[in-house]
Structure 1
Amino acid sequence: MEINWTNEAIESFRDTLRYWSKRNCNNDYSNKIIDEVEKTEVFLKENPMLLSKFVEEVKLYKILIMKGKFALYYDFIEEENLIVIIFFRSTKQKPLE
């Protein structure tokens, strides 16, 4: 199983990491976010739909990370054995749905 990120998802992820590094004056929380995203990617490769919710309005799967603080929205293309991360968002942002 391969996982790709859209440019928008990458930029949002980087913006989030920069925000928390600047806000906390260190990289500890940003590193925790990175670790959780990496763990989630490993999990998704093995279980692409387990623990995910399909959001009908945007036709994407959504999985929460860091106790619901952030969400990955993704498309699972089974015939290509591919997951595409479309959005990385804080759950405090206006929901996509």
Structure 2
Amino acid sequence: MEVITLRGLRAKLLDLEMGAPQRVDFLLLLLVEQGEGGHVVDFVTHLLHAADVLLVRPGQVQQWRLDAGLEGLLVLVSPSALGPSVGLNSAALRSGAF
């Protein structure tokens, strides 16, 4: 499990990497603290505001659309960290019901 701020993520990645679609193999939980922006999940844009929470499940395609004012925390969790009953291909993980 890794916890990182959006500011830290921006500093870590190039703009090119941030804007490119990527299929994730981990669980991503985004907790928006301030600002507004968007995040594309499976080619659907989700508008984000302060106090929003967004879940991206393993296998989904995501694309960052981060405005400079959007701040928050990311929690990244590998499926193996969830235990043997919730693996990468688990129906519970795919449905978000865990």
* Superposition TM-score, scaled by structure 1 size: 0.25
Higher helix share: 1
Higher strand share: 2
* Superposition TM-score, scaled by structure 2 size: 0.25
